[in-house]
Chains A and B, each alone.
Chain A
């Protein structure tokens, strides 16, 4: 579980620290306060030695073409002089990760060209120069032992008309022990995961949860051409995507959570496609799955209804499961940005409940 996080110079965030994450974390705040960037830093930190994640992140932002700002966009104020540093403290197992990201220049042979530039005061010309990729330096600290792992990603030079390619260098001696999934708005339901679940005769579990949000579903299966089909009592099976975005999203997440045991799931704008009544069911299922498969969740939202559903689902979950109160189970973090100053305000379950029952704004 990620407990604490420090971010320096990543995208719109110059300096931000959040401590005491819970099992299920909801991030709120005004537009452009850094919520999505925060999810991105967690994603990079969980897969610290996988440089292709940076590529995926820009693509999730629909930033497809590697133009001159493609790599630069990771740096605060697009300034290549400001080294990115993401620091996270984890439990299970206990470890600290410090991930530094610097620009990669194809013409640079050893140390970053920026270092040289500082000495010869050619900063402006250097920092405006094209950047060809990113270099990652992971410092992994466990049991007071430090290990450094380097990786990089670069854009391949292209000939006219060729599709853009990328080259990755990953550390040979590093095996990632953590697993994370960044759930984007339009992740299709995972047919392969469902296929595995069906083979293991576990699909009843998924159908039970799915029925809560779409009671007409009697069964799900995979067609010969690989599509997820569902039986809603009609004369023929229908594709799952006929049931709407909410059901699709719900199934996608259920399958990912099922597959991602002991992992971290990141979800941006959680409310999209879900009605309020479905949101409580949704959160309730997420809480059950997070508990059952030991998953830590981070989600962002703008929606007051999503926050209300989050809180109600938690109360419901605690009551139904007859659980004792767990201090660190859910958290809401509001990120406030005032120019370049960040403030993070944390609510636990009780504080959130008090605020919502008074109809107070927490976003």
Chain B
């Protein structure tokens, strides 16, 4: 069987009855730490789909895996990007097209009652555009360094410079003592505020898996 950084060859190979599909390695690292925080140390496998473009390609094929219907719960975590509702619908559509009879959740952050139960969580939240990095920033909204980051970004904007949509998170990462490349590594180093109210919905979703 593969490990959490290298997906296995089939869902049947995954012994865990619950699987979370995530967009990339940062999500794997973050969810792994969040599961530890929630004292969920076994029973859930985190499957890296390796890029949001692969959700469509890979999920429709994974539904055909002989192990899919042996799972108790399948959860999908994906970024909202510009439109959280569209992100949610895009995942629902993949399931609908590939397996019309599979019961699906009517809204994000909920689980369907079928077998397997399906849940879709959109980050940073079902209302807001953004991504995992946005959630990281929001979890640290009370961090004193945020004032500096805000001023820095304001300065860049005043110079009409186009900044990367993950610039806030990157700038915030600079405020920590050790060099940290991304928010996944930040989770491993304990730089997220995992008890932030902004993470409450996600905590509940993960606990519900």
Contacts and interface: CB of A to CB of B under 8 A. Distances in A.
Interface stretch (A239-247, A321-329, A351-359): A351-359
Contacts of B166: none
A336 B64 CA distance: 11
Q: Which of A336, A346, A347, A358 has the most CB of B within 10 A?
A: A358
Contacts of A122: none
A308 to B, nearest CB: 13
Nearest to B66: A336
B57 A359 contact: no
Contact of A351 (B7, B9, B12, B60): B60
B61 interface: yes
Interface in A335-353: 336, 345-347, 351
Interface residues of A, number: 13
Given A360-B10, A361-B10, A334 B66 contact: yes
B13 interface: yes
Nearest to B13: A361
A360 B66 contact: no
B12 A354 contact: no
Contacts of A360: 9-10, 61-62, 65
A346 B64 CA distance: 8
Contacts of B58: 354, 358
A26 to B, nearest CB: 14
A347 B64 contact: yes
Q: Which of A345, A354, A359, A360 has the most CB of B within 10 A?
A: A360
A334 B10 CA distance: 14
A240 B13 CA distance: 44
B65 A361 contact: yes
A78 to B, nearest CB: 28
Question: 8 closest pairs, A vs B, by CB?
Answer: A361-B10, A345-B64, A361-B9, A354-B61, A355-B61, A354-B57, A351-B61, A336-B66
